Every structure is written in structure tokens, then in C-alpha cells.
Structure 1
Amino acid sequence: MIQEELMKHFGLSGQVRPVKGGAWIHTGDQSFYLLPVGALYHEDVRELSQLTDALAEWMPEVARVRLTLTGEPTAEIHGHDSVLLAYPNKANFRTDSLTTGGRLGRLHQLSRQYSFNKNNRTSYLQWSDLWTDRIEQLEMNVQSVEETRRADRRGFEQHLIDVFPYIQGLADNAIQYAFDTQTDQFIKVPPAITHYRFYEGLWEDDEATVLSPTHWLVDHPARDVAEWIRAHAWEYGDTEDIKQFIYDYQKEMPIDETFHEMVFARLLFPLPMIEIAESFFEQDYRDPDDHRIIQQWRRNKDRCRQYEAYLKWYAELYLNGRVPHWLQKVED
């Protein structure tokens, strides 16, 4: 069935290997990845197609959107509006010595030259508003638990209520910091292709080392730098690695203090703990005794003090110590 539709829409035949969320198609020495349009973060597939074509001219490791035989960026495959990504053949491009930081900087530097559709800049310079909406919604959910389950709340519900003032305080600091930076400073860096959540290893998979657009969205490039630092500090805690990452990045993409302020604002926002709480309230059946979510919560909570020390370290190194007053008292 899928083979027939691939031939009809793309003139493509090959071995199909279904995987969770999509399917791999192998034909000769070429690999393709088929996925539903709804799985993409960048919803304008036409623009995404133009972006991958333009970037692949300079970065051949970019996976490109394969157009249909009629020139459309999507096709109905197996009942779903789908997009087909053509993965580069590793034998056809030279492996360079760029590190993760350097490659990310090059992607940002090249993509920020593109004139994005303004309707697709959903996150660019909107962090403070988006974060305000998230923390307010979480506050409403916490208040609901406090009011309706006063006598029998347990497990994760109690953990969240105990720590929520801390989360809310961090979020408020981050929102104010991002707002002040965007208001007081002229943001010189235009939007670029970024990732929903960037981390070491995102570009690695079973097929090839490629820059896949599946996680792409349009935002300020500080987003990716901050999320890589957050994930690395959380997992490894090596400040020398972080300094090297930033050094490699800025060799390809020049940055200034305002850029670092945007990075710091994002690092200050307690995203991991907020996402755990959000995932709990999004469940149809919420089990406050779910050991998996409680363990995630405890693991994140236990690292908070260490993470605060990293925030202070970053601010002292790149921002001349301009941090919220309470963070200045954190011990290194």
C-alpha cells in the first residue's frame, strides 16, 4: 500500500521499514524518511522545503524535503498528510571537523539570512509572554489540587505543592529578565532555524549524521545554545565543555552580551520541572503515586542547588555578574 502511494506521488520505489512515528525507505544508496506533517514543529512545509534546499547548498548534511511529482511539499500517504525527507548519502559529502557548537553556529549564521514568513515566527522574541501563559496555567492547576484535594492529596501532588513557590519564583525571574532584555536592548540577531529542544546527539541516528528538519522551528538562536547548556549541565556538569561549546559556536556565529542575556533568561526558566508538572496534568488519568513521574521530579529537585551554581557561574563569566539578587548568594 505505502509502496504504491510512494510510486504514485514521488516516483519512488524501495524497501519500506516502518518505525514509530513514520517509515524509512531505502532505495539503492539513498535513504528517505516519511512522517506525518503534524509531527513537524515548523508547520509551513513549503517554507521548510525552501529552507532545506537553500541550506543544503552550504551544508550538505541537511536532509531535504522531497517534493512530489507535481511539485507539492506534501502528499497523502496511508491516509495521512505526509512529508518525505531525503537523507544525504554520507559518501557524497566530505566530513568536516566542525564540533556540535561549530555546526550549530553555522546553521544559525546561514539560516538567519533567510526572510521567514512572519506568521511562522511563533516564538521569536515572545518568550516572556509564552512563559507567563505556561506558569499561570500551571498555577491554576496547582490551586485546583490545593482546593479540591486538601484532605487526600498525595504523592506527586504533594511534591509539586511543596516546591511550586520555588518554581514560580524562578519563572517570574526568567520572565522579567527576558522582558527587560528585549525591552532595554536592541535585539540585533534576526530569527534563525532553531530546534524545539537542542541537545548533544540530536543529529545522530541509525541512518546517518544529518541535520534533520523534523525538530526545526523559527526562533532566536540563543534558544538552542541555552538548551544545549541546560542539558549538558544537568547531565554532566562540566563547565569546561560549556566554555568550549560557546567558543566553537561563536567562531561561526558572532555573539554579544545581549545574546548571552537571552541565553541566561532561558536557562533561568525552570523548564524541566515545569514540563514534568505539565505532563502530569495533561494525562487523562492522573495517578499521583506514579513512581516514574515522582522519580523524575525528585531527580530534578535534587539537582536544583547544583544548577543554581551553574547559573551563577555563567552570569559571572559572560554577563559581568548581572543576576537576580538571590542568585548572588548561591555558593559555588
Structure 2
Amino acid sequence: MKEHFGLQVPGIFKAGSYDAFRVHGTIGIIVPVQQIDEQELYELYYMSQYLQEKREPYVAVFWPSLQGTLSAEKDGRRYALLKCADRIVSRGQSAGRELAQFHQKSRSYPYQADKTKRIGQWKDLWERRLDQLEVFWRGKVQAHPLDHFEKLFIESFPYYLGLAENGIQYLVDTELDDEPLLSDSATICHNRFHSEMWNREFTVKLPTDWVFDHASRDIAEYLRYDFFQNPEQLRNEGGVFLADYDRTAPLSSFSWRLIYSRLLFPIHYFECIEDYYLAPDSEKPYYEKKLHELLQRSTEYEQFLTSYSGMLSMRTKKIQLPVLHWLA
């Protein structure tokens, strides 16, 4: 802090999963940004400035270094410093309503977002990811592994390959058959939005979490996260979340179908496999256990996909979602 930002920090505390400190009535949050290059950080910087000017609550903004950069390096790792007001204001509205308002405000963002842009790119990104994992899987099949995780991976991959292809086809059909409305234009979204992200303990909205995409990304990832982490909450409040969002910012038929295509594409499976092979040996048992749980709940996830159309709000019951007959 002293070397790169000229700050004398009295002490460090935890804010969510991040190290943070208080100085001059401000909270500083230290965020690792190893995977985000400087150009992308500048796009996120302009987004955070824009939303702060729009008076979006809880938004953190970048604290430039003494050199004027948005990140600094220490022991071979890069960090950004984000700042927000030192006050905790409790959230007075539901997650669905707050997310809808966030998307509405962000939709008028006027600047280029080349590095953070994901809208219109799902098909290419998904196909590339699927092809890479399939090549990797074929290599593992030929190697005849004895490792328990790799056996689970080899046995389960064909099923998730089929699910992924269904998701891609559903996306393609949506883009061919349905007309996007003005509300389907790009907005500021999160890489992986979830129900713990805007909780009462950690109210801050971090720009390092953001991408520029279709709003359905956040809605789908919220539902996916709750399926795996908070199933009781999904059963009791999943429909309420969707209804609150839809009442605040009405979702088009195109949006409902994009949400479904994203839920069909098994990102949770892909990430578990990728994370296992990237993890140090000490963390591998965690991902092995996680894969085991994913596979055990695959039938339950199919039931969740089948029940999705029943979660549409009353206002949208007239929307006909194409049905996947093998799920039905």
C-alpha cells in the first residue's frame, strides 16, 4: 500500500473474501486481478465511474496507483485497489428488483467495451470450450487412468457433452426464431452473479466482477448457484426472484429463452473439471468431492430444467418456451 499507493494502512480486516482496510473515512479493498489485463481494467474503471455518477448504490471505484496505473504488482501477483464509502447501509429491496434496476441503469452505458464484451459471443465461447474439453477427454480415455477423479470425468463427459450441445442448439434456435427487443441490448453484468454477492455483510459492488453482456446471464447464474448452494432457497424463492425482476424490468420471450439456454449449458461441470486440473494437489480432493456431488444431482438438475417454464411469472405465462422432449 505504501510503495504503490502512498497509503499508511493502520490494519487489515476481511471484507467478504477480500483483504480490506479503513483510511480517511474510506474502505479500501485489495482485489487480485491476475486474469484481467490493464486494458480490461480501464473498461471496468469507466463502468464504475459511470455507475457512481448515476448514483448506483454500493459501487466501488478504482484507486489509481502513484504511477497512474489501475493495478500494482507484488511478489509476482497483480492487485487492484478499490474504494468505497465507509458506511454500511442495509438493503431495502429484493435481489430481483435490485438486479433489474442495476441492469436498467447500466443499459445506457455509452462507451466501448471491447475487452469485457460477451454479448453475442456465447455460441463461439461455448463451442471453443466444449471442443477443448473434448480433446482433453479423448487424451484421458486413451491413457486408461486409474485415478478416481479421472474415471468419473471419463464416464460422465459424454452426458455433459450432450447437454452442452443442447444448450448451444437452443441458443442458436432462439437467435434464429425470436426477435430481441430494446430491453435485450447489452448491459453491465457479472461474470458469475449469485445470491451471496449482494448480501448484508458485504454490500459492495466490485467492478472487477463485471462483464458487458445480456442481462439473462446474471439471472441464469443466480438460479444455477442457488440450485447447487441454496436448493431450499431456490424452491421457496426462485419464482419470487424472477417475478420481482420481471415486474421491475419486463423480460422478453428472447430473454426467457436465453436464460434457459444458459442453464442447459453445464458451465458448473466444465468449471469443476477445469478447476481440478488447475488446482494444487492440496485442493484436488475438494473438486473431486464437488464432481461427485454434481453427478449425484444430475437427475435433480434435469428436473429443475423441466420445471423452469413453471417459474415464469404470471405476466409471461403466454410465452411459449420450446420444450426439449428428452427432458419432458
Q: Which of 157, 160, 163 is matched with 2:153 structurally? A: 160
Segment of structure 1 superposing worse, 167-176 or 42-51 = 42-51
Tell me which residue corresponds to 1:270: 266
**Structural RMSD (CA):** 3.0
Q: How does 1:125-144 map to 2 (within 5 A)?
A: 125-144=120-139
Tell me which residue corresponds to 1:311: 305
Matched, 1:174 2:167: yes
Tell me which residue corresponds to 2:2: 3
CA deviations 1:207-229 (Å, max 9, x no partner) are x4121212111111101100000
Cα distance in structure 2, aligned partners of 1:282 and 1:67: 31
Tell me which residue corresponds to 2:243: 247
Decide whether the 8 Å contact of 2:263 with 2:305 is kept in 1: yes
Tell me which residue corresponds to 2:85: 88
Structure 1 letter corresponding to 2:94? T
Cα distance in structure 1, aligned partners of 2:286 and 2:78: 34
Cα distance in structure 2, aligned partners of 1:159 and 1:103: 40
Instruction: Provide closer, same or farther for how the CA distance between residues 23 and 97 of structure 1 changes in structure 2, counting only shifts above 3 A.
Output: closer
Matched, 1:25 2:18: no
Q: Secondary structure at the match of 1:38?
A: coil
Q: Which of 52, 60, 65 is matched with 1:63 structurally? A: 60
Q: Secondary structure at the match of 1:229?
A: helix
Q: How does 1:172-321 map to 2 (within 5 A)?
A: 172-188=165-181, 189-204=184-199, 208-235=202-229, 236-237=231-232, 238-282=234-278, 291-318=285-312, 320-321=320-321
Tell me which residue corresponds to 1:50: 46
Segment of structure 1 superposing worse, 229-238 or 134-143 = 229-238
Which stretches in structure 1 are left out of the alignment for 5+ residues?
Answer: none
Instruction: Provide closer, same or farther for how the CA distance between residues 292 and 38 of structure 1 changes in structure 2, counting only shifts above 3 A.
Output: closer
Cα distance, 1:162 vs. partner?
A: 1.5
Instruction: Provide closer, same or farther for how the CA distance between residues 22 and 3 of structure 1 changes in structure 2, counting only shifts above 3 A.
Output: farther
Q: Secondary structure at the match of 2:34?
A: helix
Decide whether the 8 Å contact of 1:316 with 1:322 is kept in 2: no
Cα distance, 1:121 vs. partner?
A: 4.6
TM-score (ref. length: structure 2):
0.84
Decide whether the 8 Å contact of 1:74 with 1:81 is kept in 2: no
* Percent of paired sites with the same residue: 26
Cα distance in structure 2, aligned partners of 1:125 and 1:42: 23
Structure 2 letter corresponding to 1:59? E
Tell me which residue corresponds to 2:315: none
TM-score (ref. length: structure 1):
0.83
Structure 2 letter corresponding to 1:168? L
Segment of structure 1 superposing worse, 61-70 or 306-315 = 61-70
Instruction: Provide closer, same or farther for how the CA distance between residues 121 and 37 of structure 1 changes in structure 2, counting only shifts above 3 A.
Output: closer
Segment of structure 1 superposing worse, 28-37 or 104-113 = 28-37
Query: How many aligned residue pairs are there?
Result: 315
Which stretches in structure 2 are left out of the alignment for 5+ residues?
Answer: 313-318
Cα distance in structure 1, aligned partners of 2:73 and 2:91: 36
Cα distance in structure 1, aligned partners of 2:279 and 2:71: 32
Cα distance in structure 2, aligned partners of 1:280 and 1:83: 26
Cα distance in structure 1, aligned partners of 2:9 and 2:295: 48
Tell me which residue corresponds to 1:323: 323
